[in-house]
Amino acid sequence: MGFDASYTGQKFKSVGTRPLRPDGVDKVTGRARYGADFNMPGQLVGRILRSPHAHAKIKKIDTSKAEKLKGVKAVITAADLPDLTDGDAGMYDVLDNCMARKKALYDGHAVAAVAAIDAPTARAALKLIKVDYEVLPHVTDVDEAVKPGGPLLHKTVFTGGVDPKPKKPSNVANRSQYGHGDVEAGFKAADVIIERTYRTEQTHQGYIEPHACVASVNSDGTGELWVCTQGHFVYRQHCAQLLGMDVSKLRVTSSEIGGGFGGKTHVWAEPVALALSRKAGRPVKLVMTRDEVFRASGPTSATSIDIRIGARKDGTITAAEATLRYSCGPYAGMWAELGAMTSFACYDLKNVKSVGYEVLVNRPKVAAYRAPSAPMAAFAVESAIDELAHKIGMDAVKFRIKNAAKEGTKSSYGPVYGPIGIGPTLEAAQKHPHMKAPLGKNQGRGMACGFWFNFGGQTCTDLNIGVDGTVNLAVGTVDVGGSRASLSLVAAEELGIAYEQVKAVVADTATLGYNDMTDGSRGTFSSSMATIFAARNAIKVMRERAAKMWDISVDDVVWEDGHAKAKGKKHGNLAPLSVKEIAAAAPNTGGPIAGHNEIVADGAGVSFATHICDVEVDPQTGSTRVVRYTVVQDAGKAVHPTYVEGQYQGGAAQGIGWALNEEYIYGKDGRLQNAGFLDYRIPVCSDLPMIDTQILEIPNPNHPYGVRGVGETSIVPPLAAIANAVSNAVAVRMTHIPMSPPRILAALEAEKA
C-alpha cells in the first residue's frame, strides 16, 4: 500500500520519550556478539600479508614455502581474486585495495593472505611468503602530490573535469566546481578580505572494534558471512560481485557494531576471508589488528584549503571562494567535491565559488568519515568567517546570523533551500547561557556552524505480531547508535501499544529485502518511515480481523489507542479489541498478522548545527583542554532524545580529538609511524568535559513525524569552533589541524618572532 510521507503534525505518546535501549543489557554484561565473537565448526584463522613499502611494483610472489607449512590450509594472492568487475572502475579499485594486483600503493596494502589452523601457524606462514618488490618513488603529502615532476601513482590517470583533457597523467584525479555569481566583482565590492591557507591532517574514524568477520563458502557455491558492518546488504552485493557468487546465495549477518562512522561502509578484508574459505573449504575468521586498521582501512582525507572571503563593513559578505585539495589515497574519490559542495552551505551568498581537487597519494584508500569532507571545509571557512567578523568589529555570531542561509536561499551547491535550521541554531547559540559565561586566564571561546546533506534510500521492514500481541520488528539498517530503541518507539506509537511490547532486531540478508547502509544519517530517518508504513499495514489487517470477529463490515472498524473499535450506534455494545485479543484469535481469522513495507525514503532534508566551545591553553606546553562545550542542532523530531543527544555528543567528542590530537604521521620512507592508540591519541573520558546539547525541532516536511537524520552534522563544526577558541585564547590565528602542543608552541614562537 502506498502512503504519503508528508509531515502531518501528529501528536505523540511514545515518540519523544526516553526508554532504555533493548540492546543495553547485553552490551553492559558482555553478552552482545561483535564481529570476532562468532565461531563455526572447523574454523580457520586468516591473516593478511601487507606491503612494507609505500609504492612498489610487485614483480613476483612465491607462496610455495608457506603452502607447505603444516597447518596451512590456503594461501591466496590477487590471482585468487580475478577481476570480475566488468569495467566498473569503482569496484575495481575496491578489489585492488583488498588485494594488490600489480603494485603496492601504500604501506599496509594487502599482497597475500593465509588461512591456517591457528594464529601462530598463520603468522609463521606469512613470514614464508616471498614478495619480490621493485620499490618506486612515493608521495604521501597532499601538497607535494600535486607538484609537477614528483612521483606519479598511475600513468593512466588524467585529470577529469578540465577542458581540454590533459595530455599528461597526474596525481590530480578530478576537478569539480560549484558556485554562482561573479566572485571577482564581489571581492571588488568588499571593504575587508580575509585570505588564508589552512591544512588538516589525515585522521581515522577510530572505531574501537576492528574489522572482523567469519566467512564460509561451500562447494555448492553458497556462502555465509558474519561481519561487523554498517551495511550487510551492501557488503553482500560487493562480496558477491568480487567473488563471482550469486547474491541470493551469500547470506550476510551483521554483528553488533563497535563503531563505524563511515569506515564500515566499505569492504576491506571480507572478500579476502571469503576467498580463503573458498580455497580452504573451511570457515575462516579474519580479524584485523589495530595496526592493520590504521594502516589499511578507512582514514579520512588530509587537506590543504585556500579560502578568500570578502565583506562590507556593515557585515554583508560580498564574495567567498575556496580551493580545496583533498587526499584520496591511491584511488580517485569524490572527497574534495564534497568539500566544495559543503564549504559555504551555511550562508546566503550572491557570489561564491568552490573548486575541489581529488589528489592521489601513497596512503590508504580514503573512506567516508561522518559527514565526509565537510568538517575540514568548515574548519577553513568558519575560521576565515570568524577572523573577518573580528576585522570588521562585529560579533562573530551576529555576523553569521546576518549572512545565514534561510528558506529560499540559493545554496552554494545549487538548489534553493526549503525550511532549514541554520538561523534557529545560531539564534539559540546566541541566547545560550554558555555565550555569556565568564572566561578564566588563558581561556578562549569559539563558535562555528556546520552543514550536512543527509539522505534516505532503499529501506524495508517487517512487523510481525505474535500470538500474545507482542511485536517483532525486523529492520535492515544496522543499529549504530540506538535505532532499535527509536524504531521500537515508532512501532509502539503507530500501533498504540507499550514500547516494552516491541522487540526490534536487525535481520540478515536472507530474511528481509534489500536495505541501503546505515550511512548518510539515514538509519532512523529511513527505517522509521518504513516502520510507520509497515505498522499501518498491520493495523489494516487487524481491522479486518476485528471485523471478522465481530461479523461486521471492516468499514465500520477504526483503530484508536491500540484498539480496534466499532464505530456507529448500531455497534455500541461491542467492546474495543486490543492487539492482544486480535492476535489471540488470529489462527481462526486468517492466520498470522504482519505488516510489511518497502520504500525509497527520499527527501531526507539538510541538517545544520552550531557549536560553542571554551578552551584553556597552557602557554608553557601548548597543551589545550576543552573546558566547556555546547552543541545546538536541528533534529526535525527527536524520536528518542537521549540517543539524539548521544549522536550530538559523539560527534563533538570525535571532533575534539581531530582538532587537538589525532593525525597520521608518515616517515620519509612513506611508512605510517603511529599505527596504534598509544601514538595516535583519541580522546578518552578524562580528556573531555560534559558536552551540553540543545535539540531544536524544525520538522522535516518529507517525513510523517518530521524526522531529520542527526548522526553526522555534529562532527562538522568542532574543528572550527575549537580552532576559533584556541585562536582567541592565544591571540594567534591557528590554521593547521590538529592543534597539537608542538604546533601551538610553534605558532606562538612564530608570532613572537
Partner 1 sequence: MVEVALLGSLSAAAGGKKTLDIEAKDIRELFRKLAEQYPGLEPLIERGIAVSIDGVIYRDTWSKELPEGAEIYLLPRIAGG
Residue in 23, 201, 256, 337 binding partner 1, rule: CB under 8 A = 337
Contact call for residue 170 and partner 1 (CB under 8 A): no
Among positions 671-710, residues that touch partner 1 (CB under 8 A) are 702
Minimum separation from the CB atom of position 647 to partner 1 (A): 12
Helix (H, G, I), strand (E, B) or coil at 132: strand
Closer CB to partner 1, 517 or 538, in the complex: 517
Residue in 520, 655, 657, 683 binding partner 1, rule: CB under 8 A = 520
Report residue 594 as a C-alpha cell: 504482519
Residue in 282, 522, 708, 736 binding partner 1, rule: CB under 8 A = 522
Closer CB to partner 1, 90 or 587, in the complex: 90
Residue in 305, 309, 340, 542 binding partner 1, rule: CB under 8 A = 340
Among 41-49, 120-128, 411-419, 729-737, which window interacts with partner 1 (CB under 8 A)? 411-419
234 contacts: CB under 8 Å, gap ≥ 6: 265, 516, 517
Among 181-189, 220-228, 435-443, 515-523, which window interacts with partner 1 (CB under 8 A)? 515-523
Among 129-137, 278-286, 450-458, 674-682, which window interacts with partner 1 (CB under 8 A)? 450-458
Minimum separation from the CB atom of position 70 to partner 1 (A): 44
Among 169-177, 482-490, 561-569, 680-688, which window interacts with partner 1 (CB under 8 A)? 169-177
Residue 607: which of 453, 406, 400 has the closest Cα? 453
Q: What's the number of CA atoms in the CB half-sphere (13 Å) around residue 660?
A: 26
Among 53-61, 330-338, 620-628, 742-750, which window interacts with partner 1 (CB under 8 A)? 330-338
Burial 471-487 (b: 16+ CB within 10 A, else e): bbbbbbbbbbbbbbbbb
Minimum separation from the CB atom of position 92 to partner 1 (A): 13
Residue in 11, 41, 156, 163 binding partner 1, rule: CB under 8 A = 163
Residue 624: which of 735, 739, 750, 749 has the closest Cα? 739
Contact call for residue 596 and partner 1 (CB under 8 A): no
List residues bridging with 235 in a β-sheet.
Answer: none
Residue in 51, 458, 531, 728 binding partner 1, rule: CB under 8 A = 458
Is the Cβ–Cβ distance between 225 and 240 less than 8 Å?
Answer: no
Residue in 175, 540, 567, 625 binding partner 1, rule: CB under 8 A = 175
C-alpha dihedral over 657, 659, 661, 663, to 10 degrees? 100
Closer CB to partner 1, 418 or 587, in the complex: 418
Q: State how far the Cα of 219 lies from the Cα of 242, in Å rounded to an integer.
A: 17
Among 58-66, 160-168, 282-290, 669-677, which window interacts with partner 1 (CB under 8 A)? 160-168
Contact call for residue 281 and partner 1 (CB under 8 A): no
Closer CB to partner 1, 21 or 522, in the complex: 522
- H helix or E strand, kind and range, residue 195: strand 192-200
DSSP per residue, 545-568: HHHHHHTS-GGGEEEETTEEEE-S
Residue 653: which of 632, 684, 699 has the closest Cα? 684
Count Cβ atoms within 10 A of the Cβ of residue 34 and give its class: 0-12 exposed, 13-18 middle, 19 or more buried. Answer: middle
Sheet with 502-506: list strands edge to edge: 502-506, 471-475, 458-465, 593-600
The 10 Å Cβ neighbour count of residue 207 is 22
Among 38-46, 50-58, 335-343, 547-555, which window interacts with partner 1 (CB under 8 A)? 335-343
100 contacts: CB under 8 Å, gap ≥ 6: 51, 58, 78, 109, 110, 111
Among 168-176, 426-434, 543-551, 631-639, which window interacts with partner 1 (CB under 8 A)? 168-176
Minimum separation from the CB atom of position 635 to partner 1 (A): 17
Among 154-162, 540-548, 685-693, 727-735, which window interacts with partner 1 (CB under 8 A)? 154-162
Minimum separation from the CB atom of position 657 to partner 1 (A): 15
| Alpha helix stretches (DSSP H) within 198-334 | 232-243, 270-280, 290-296
Minimum separation from the CB atom of position 540 to partner 1 (A): 23
Among positions 708-727, residues that touch partner 1 (CB under 8 A) are 712
Among positions 74-133, residues that touch partner 1 (CB under 8 A) are 90
Helix (H, G, I), strand (E, B) or coil at 595: strand
Residue type, 627: V
Residue 582: which of 620, 553, 540, 612 has the closest Cα? 540
Contact call for residue 160 and partner 1 (CB under 8 A): yes
C-alpha dihedral over 711, 713, 715, 721, to 10 degrees? -150
Minimum separation from the CB atom of position 693 to partner 1 (A): 20
Contact call for residue 457 and partner 1 (CB under 8 A): yes
Contact call for residue 481 and partner 1 (CB under 8 A): no
| Alpha helix stretches (DSSP H) within 227-269 | 232-243
Minimum separation from the CB atom of position 417 to partner 1 (A): 6
Among 270-278, 345-353, 456-464, 641-649, which window interacts with partner 1 (CB under 8 A)? 456-464
Among positions 196-255, residues that touch partner 1 (CB under 8 A) are 205
Is the Cβ–Cβ distance between 588 and 598 less than 8 Å?
Answer: no
Among positions 366-405, residues that touch partner 1 (CB under 8 A) are 368-372
Closer CB to partner 1, 329 or 372, in the complex: 372
Write the Ramachandran bin of 588: left for phi over 0, alpha for psi from -120 to 50, otherwise beta.
alpha
Report residue 407 as a C-alpha cell: 528558506
Residue in 25, 79, 119, 162 binding partner 1, rule: CB under 8 A = 162
Residue 346: which of 275, 436, 421 has the closest Cα? 421
Residue numbers at the binding site for partner 1 (CB under 8 A): 90, 160-163, 174-178, 205, 261-262, 265, 334, 337-338, 340-341, 356, 368-372, 413-418, 453-458, 517, 519-522, 600, 602-605, 702, 712
